[in-house]
Amino acid sequence: MANDSKTWRCGKYELSFDRPRIMGVLNVTPDSFSDGGEHFDPDAAIEYGLSMLDAGADIIDVGGESTRPGFTPVNPDEEARRVLPVVRALAKEGAIVSIDTRHVAVAKAAVRCGASIVNDVTGFTDPKMVEFVATSTCGVIVMHAGEVAVPTRTHATVQLDTSAAAFVAEKAREAAAEAAREAEKPARRRRGKLLGEPKTEAKLPGGVVQPSLPFGDPEPVPESEPETPDAERTAPVAEAATAPEPTPEPNDHLAAMMRRSARREEAYVPTSQLRRFTLPDSAPIMRRVMGFLSDQARTLIHAGVSRDRICIDPGPGFGKSANEDIVIQRETAKMASLGYPLMCAVSRKRFVGAVSGVTEAVARDAATFGVCLGAIQAGANIVRVHDVTGFAQFLNGYWAVAKPQPRRAFVAVGSNLGHRCDNIRAARDMIAEIPLTCVSNCSRIYESEPAYETRQDAFANAVIEIKTELAPLVLLDELQKIELELGRDRSKKAKVNGPRTIDLDLLWMDGETHGGKKLRLPHPLIGERDFVLVPLEDLMHDPARFFRFNGVDVKEPEDRVGHIVGELGRM
């Protein structure tokens, strides 16, 4: 019940979580880890975004900078050039668009172009980003990006034998060890450089010391080893690189951390430490992740961002090992208990490949669905995936048997060919036969003037109230099948808004907002259609007020189209 009661306010949209919401990944980049370059062209990206909406995505997450391990930072101007045309086009089609960026200039421009959500991979650690979202109404996603490993503590040896011989032998061993350490120093320097210790501070011009962003506690630098300069820590090892790589800006902590993550993946680091358990202790890891998410959410709230605009994301793959990612995913219920909408963004990540044995990122979708299912059962509300079509089918199948959930919806019915009233009654009977669906109420049948295309016969119109457990796009497919069975011509040669034996429009469904070419919810033309609003008065009190509350622009009766001219009888 706690999960069902959460809502997420994102600009003019409000998402409920009576079912999990699907966020489709749209990378407008040439170098993303699983689909780099496929949608780099703006037109290709827009087309793919619309196809994800038609496949079942509730949100489209548009990103113009890859944050894969070892990524190359992109300047804000180039990132904006990539994403803004895509954001603008998708928002125009009624999509809930999320902008995946860590640059405040890009976030501002995207929100002006219609984005409803800012997804900041650095968790709003930039005060300017906090200041911006506090002055807007967009939803925000706070993500944790950082190392969570606990520094290993070394314990001093205790001398129990106090005899003179033992003392002399111990001193000899210490001297030999010291000599070995001195001889090994160059090798240790190279190894430290390869592993890349996190910076604890960055030197700014003028000698000012800038603390690092809270992506994770830094590992301690051994006292016996001099401090490595900042530039040397973040730079790649020339000997290990096959080609020269651009060095990130000195203060680009995310890029430096993900470069370390890439090197950890490529290099095996031997250790003599043995573990008694398959996974590290969850308590210190979750203190860091949940502590950061809670602190950043409070920072946003204190800045003026309302709590119902905040979503949290533990950031799988961002500076974390496979073992740590599994620990975090197993603690999904604890993160959900914080009370914010919770995102599961594990799609095709390295740890998914590690647990499934799948090397290629694009082949990890089935394993991704399994991890997402575990997260949903533990309380995750939003699932960020690359394969929207496959996951929507997966989720619809699971939800149908796991979560009985009838919801109210309205279907408009119209006909102006053949026996109009008989066509409407036949459609009603066939709607009642749709799986997981029943007809709960019907308006009277009215006669109306033709709308949009006026040179045709008058229409018979009604509205049917139903209860259904189907997803909106699945229900729409069933309604279109009924149209075909009753003789509706949907071929390209058919005149738009012309004569038809039957027309079925899904007007509204409880808790659903949707954009795209195939389906828009609420139906964008409800507010101007008299032949819809008048029949709705038989089913609810003041439909104009109801739909205005749901964000629909409802016109005054004299400004509508398809005016009702008479009544043809009861359904």
Residue pLDDT, tens place only, 344-354: 999 999 999 99
What does DSSP assign to residue 549?
H
How many CB atoms sit inside 10 A of residue 192's CB? Answer: 17
pLDDT at 214: 46
Most confident stretch, 151-155, 265-269, 359-363: 359-363
Residues designated catalytic: 488, 500, 503, 505
pLDDT at residue 300 is higher than 80 = yes
Condensed to tens digits (0 to 9), the pLDDT of residues 197-236 reads 444 444 444 444 444 444 444 444 444 444 444 433 333 3
pLDDT at residue 290 is higher than 90 = yes
- State mean pLDDT over 455-468: 96
- State mean pLDDT over 466-471: 96
With contact defined as beta carbons under 8 Å apart, do 520 and 94 qualify?
Answer: yes
Residue 220, CA distances (Å) to 67, 195, 202, 319, 498 in order: 26, 13, 16, 17, 74
pLDDT at 4: 58
Q: Rounded to the nearest 5°, which phi and psi values hold at 442?
A: -140, 145
Most confident stretch, 108-122, 138-152, 271-285: 108-122
Cα 392 to chain centroid distance, Å, stands at 14
pLDDT at residue 496 is higher than 90 = no
246 upstream amide cis, omega within 30 of 0: no
Lowest mean pLDDT among 324-328, 429-433, 474-478, 490-494: 490-494
pLDDT at 125: 94
pLDDT at residue 244 is higher than 60 = no
pLDDT at 340: 96
Of residues 530 and 453, which shows the higher confidence score? 530
Condensed to tens digits (0 to 9), the pLDDT of residues 127-145 reads 999 999 999 999 999 999 8
Buried b or exposed e, range 62-96, using 16+ CB within 10 angstroms: bbbbbbbbbbebbebeebbebbbbbbbbbbebbbb
Closest CA to 315 of 146, 144, 147: 144
Residue 300, CA distances (Å) to 117, 146, 210, 339 in order: 14, 19, 22, 15
What is the C-alpha separation between 438 and 432, in angstroms, rounded?
5
Condensed to tens digits (0 to 9), the pLDDT of residues 32-43 reads 555 555 667 889
Question: What tokens does 250 get?
Answer: 């000195």
pLDDT at 491: 86
pTM equals 0.79
- State mean pLDDT over 292-312: 97
Of the chain, the percentage scoring pLDDT greater than 70 comes to 76
Closest CA to 96 of 38, 29, 16: 16
